[in-house]
Structure 1
Amino acid sequence: MLLGALLDAGASLTVVQSAVDAVSGGTVQIRAREVTRGGMRALKADVEPLVDDPPHRTWRDVRDMLERAGSSTDTAVAVFRCLAEAEARVHGTKPDDVHFHEVGALDAIADVVGCCAALADLGVSTVSAGPVALGSGSVRTRHGRLPVPAPAVAELAKGWQVSAGGDGELATPTGLALLRSLARACEPLPPMTLDAVGIGAGTRDPEGHANVVRVMISSAEAAPAAQIVERDEPDDRAVLLEANVDDLDPRLWPGILNSLLTAGASDAWLVPIVMKKGRPAHTLSVLCPSGLAGPLRDQIFRDTSTLGVRHSPRGKVALERSFADVTVHDTRIPVKVAHRDGVVLQVMPEFEDVAALARRQDRPERLVLQDALAAASGAGLIVGAALPDNLRPAQ
């Protein structure tokens, strides 16, 4: 559906086919045709394998195919790596040994490589997306009947805004891997000068909604405002929301802060203050991309007792962030690595994973944290050292 939308937005089918041929060796063909979905015109991209019974492949096999095709498939490598890591976590195996089954077949390789080639052909440099409907019910797979969202979809959806959105499977592992690898932010449609719109069709045509994916493309000068900042100059597109609250049950604050972060806030915190007549209170502060200021302000009004929310623009300089995994007592612990210009500046294991391992082992968290830091150091994640090549970008 995404490939159809990008082709409908103006990507060249010839360019896309050439990129896919470079990886697949000319064993799959992409055809585009106009269809109607829910009364809406859309473009259906049909991927047709030209060989019978294409083999299943591991992530190692797919990576070798992509790397032999050349550097133009770097983005596709990142998409499949994201997918392999999610499948490995679900099945309790190593990413290199993940069998993609239908995902590793030629049609899915064409989907991923085709989308990446289409984005490059359209000159797209920054991608953002809105919340994703995952569906509900169950789906039949090679592993039997599984609940929707399927385990790999749920893993890939971590940190993204999602909803059920309807019956059946509405998001696949391949689709979520593309979105999480390509999109820099989950945000409402930002202000833009719209240059092109593409509508891609799914196979089904259910009642009640149009089974389509839509892409909107703007010129570079009107690119989405919410981006991970990776430069030295302050970015004045962040917004700080603040509210003084003196009459809220303090037991509600942890849930409120967590819900704001889940909704896309960059950070959210409380500061104790004393208000008029000596009343103890808190200042709620929420730092967010400008495109989310309105929805988060509405959420503050909904979840707290404040009568007003202040807002002001803020500059922000952020280090680039990536993730690596280390093994601590046979358990995988993600490690966040902050870096600049190829040099590691901060190394910190994800504390929730450290705390979970400490509970399972009935050990102090500080000792498990020390073990994780030692494992990170052994993996070359050392402050001041060169950034390793095998890190994955932070989502």
Structure 2
Amino acid sequence: MAEPGRHAWIDAGAGIAGDMLLGALVDAGAPVYVIQDAVDAVVPDAVRMTAREVTRAGQRATKVDVAPVAADQPHRRWSDIRDLIDRAPLEPAVAASAQRVFETLAAAEGRVHGVEATQVHFHEVGAWDSIADVVGVCAALHWHAVRSVSAGPIAVGSGRVTGAHGDLPVPVPAVLELGTGWELRAGGTGELATPTGVALVRALAATCEPLPPMRVRATGVGAGSRDTPGRANVVRVCIGERTETAGQPATEQLWVLEANVDDLDPRVWPTVLTALLEAGAADAWLTPILMKKGRPAHTLSVLCAGGDRSRMGDLVHSLTSTFGSRSYAVDRVALQRDWRIIQVHGHSVRIKVSLDGSGQIVHATPEFEDAATAARAVGLPVRRLLDDAAATATAQGLRAGSLLPPIDS
């Protein structure tokens, strides 16, 4: 499996659908069985997934076929899908990403059709193939150890198409709603982007940008069903570590949500922070404050992507006793990150490495949970294990001012 902390860039310049993005991630190396297991965890024995090599306008690509096991598959509401994912034995990051995609899709479809998002009940959200595409893409990204995603402009097509609600213009209303705030292009005739495909981009990608500076580790090309002469009906994905030119670290716009709380049992706070981080927050922390009349209290702060503001706000309101929250945009400057695994007293410990724009190491820090697990196993104080891990990392060239050594060194 890939090293932790990678970036994925999605090229949707020829359009995008859920199966196309899934095919690209499989083409880049994600095993079909990993995706099948994740989908089975949500809807057991509902679909079977296979991958095959195809050509689109002369280009090789991977097509993932999703076939139903049973003939009559239910069209579920978003609230039903949410409950299925909540109960499924998925990795927390996969479940959180899938929930975010379906929430984004349901909100757009609900706005288009004038109903509450939880009551959206038609094939765009509830069909077995949409569940397979969304959960499969999230599981494949997790397998690739992708921690951040960006994408280029989306080709949506032009003309008209016949759908479940009759004759519709292209882009269809849900795609246009989902595309608000993103760069869209016609890119050709016909329907090139589906609601599920655009929802995956909008929910998972933080930024619309050209291919960013990257150290590319894997690429993949995923095919749609149609083979249009003169235009390859494919989605491409690049996976690797982001790099920055001229020594400049990456800058991204995030949001901070805050709430002042003076009446929550302090024993609950660790569970609040853990739940927010597992739900996809970039960071979450507490600051002791004094409120009116000298009451001791805490400010809860949550750092998250813009697309997660609503969901994180709902979590803050449900997990704490606050009556409201505030938010503001911030620019985060982040050093490039990488990981290396070392052996300490016979146990694996990850070393988190930060790099400047030239590839030199700025920090190399043992991962605390790995060190704590190893310390318990060998009967040493955690402090001692951390010291030994840092010394081992230094001896292997993971030191400030040095170039990051190759993985196989």
Answer whether TM exceeds 0.5 for this pair. yes
1:351-376 deviations in whole A, cap 9, x for unaligned?
A: xxxxxxxxxxxxxxxxxxxxxxxxx9
Does the aligned pair in 2 maintain the 1:135–1:166 contact within 8 Å? yes
Aligned partner (choices 229, 235, 241) of residue 207 of structure 1? 229
Q: State the partner residue of 1:45.
A: 64
Match status 1:166 vs 2:188:
yes
Q: State the partner residue of 1:117.
A: 139
Aligned partner (choices 269, 285, 291) of residue 341 of structure 1? 285
1:67 and 1:380 map into 2 onto residues whose CA distance is 19
Residue identity over aligned pairs, in percent, reads 53
Deviation at 1:341, TM superposition (A): 3.1
1:387 and 1:43 map into 2 onto residues whose CA distance is 47
Does the aligned pair in 1 maintain the 2:219–2:236 contact within 8 Å? yes
1:91 and 1:3 map into 2 onto residues whose CA distance is 28
Deviation at 1:47, TM superposition (A): 0.4
Q: State the partner residue of 2:34.
A: 15
Match status 1:154 vs 2:176:
yes
Are residues 97 and 318 of structure 1, via their aligned partners in 2, closer, same or farther at CA, if it must alter by over 3 Å? Answer: closer
Deviation at 1:189, TM superposition (A): 0.5
Are residues 340 and 175 of structure 1, via their aligned partners in 2, closer, same or farther at CA, if it must alter by over 3 Å? Answer: same
Paired amino acid for 1:180: R
2:198 and 2:78 map into 1 onto residues whose CA distance is 17
Are residues 150 and 224 of structure 1, via their aligned partners in 2, closer, same or farther at CA, if it must alter by over 3 Å? Answer: farther
Deviation at 1:14, TM superposition (A): 1.1
1:49 and 1:387 map into 2 onto residues whose CA distance is 44
2:177 and 2:54 map into 1 onto residues whose CA distance is 32
Does the aligned pair in 2 maintain the 1:153–1:173 contact within 8 Å? yes
Deviation at 1:41, TM superposition (A): 0.5
1:123-178 deviations in whole A, cap 9, x for unaligned?
A: 11111000001100011111101000111100000000111110000101000110
Match status 1:320 vs 2:271:
no
- Which structure has more RCO (C-alpha within 8 Å, separation ≥ 6)? 2
Deviation at 1:208, TM superposition (A): 1.7
Residue 174 of structure 1 aligns to a residue whose secondary structure is helix
Paired amino acid for 1:106: W
Kindly report structure 1 stretches of 4+ aligned residues shifted beyond 6 Å.
none
2:317 and 2:216 map into 1 onto residues whose CA distance is 45
Aligned partner (choices 95, 99, 103) of residue 81 of structure 1? 103
Paired amino acid for 2:63: K
Q: State the partner residue of 1:187.
A: 209
Paired amino acid for 1:178: L
Q: State the partner residue of 1:312.
A: none
Are residues 13 and 126 of structure 1, via their aligned partners in 2, closer, same or farther at CA, if it must alter by over 3 Å? Answer: same
Match status 1:178 vs 2:200:
yes
Q: State the partner residue of 2:157.
A: 135
Does the aligned pair in 2 maintain the 1:42–1:199 contact within 8 Å? yes
2:66 and 2:115 map into 1 onto residues whose CA distance is 30
Does the aligned pair in 1 maintain the 2:77–2:125 contact within 8 Å? no
Deviation at 1:344, TM superposition (A): 6.4
Match status 1:64 vs 2:8:
no
Are residues 215 and 236 of structure 1, via their aligned partners in 2, closer, same or farther at CA, if it must alter by over 3 Å? Answer: closer
1:159 and 1:170 map into 2 onto residues whose CA distance is 18
Does the aligned pair in 2 maintain the 1:62–1:104 contact within 8 Å? yes
Aligned length: 254
1:13 and 1:19 map into 2 onto residues whose CA distance is 10
Aligned partner (choices 128, 145, 148) of residue 106 of structure 1? 128
Deviation at 1:74, TM superposition (A): 1.7
2:82 and 2:63 map into 1 onto residues whose CA distance is 27
1:12 and 1:194 map into 2 onto residues whose CA distance is 19
Paired amino acid for 2:285: D
Q: State the partner residue of 1:310.
A: none
Q: State the partner residue of 1:371.
A: none
Q: What CA RMSD, in Å, does the superposition of the two structures yield over aligned residues?
A: 3.0
Q: State the partner residue of 2:112.
A: 90
1:219-248 deviations in whole A, cap 9, x for unaligned?
A: 3xx2689xxxxxxxxx9545xxxxxxxxxx
Deviation at 1:103, TM superposition (A): 3.5
Paired amino acid for 1:217: I
1:15 and 1:224 map into 2 onto residues whose CA distance is 32
- TM-score when scaled to structure 1? 0.59
Are residues 318 and 43 of structure 1, via their aligned partners in 2, closer, same or farther at CA, if it must alter by over 3 Å? Answer: closer
1:138 and 1:35 map into 2 onto residues whose CA distance is 27
Are residues 180 and 40 of structure 1, via their aligned partners in 2, closer, same or farther at CA, if it must alter by over 3 Å? Answer: same
Does the aligned pair in 2 maintain the 1:128–1:224 contact within 8 Å? no
2:244 and 2:249 map into 1 onto residues whose CA distance is 14
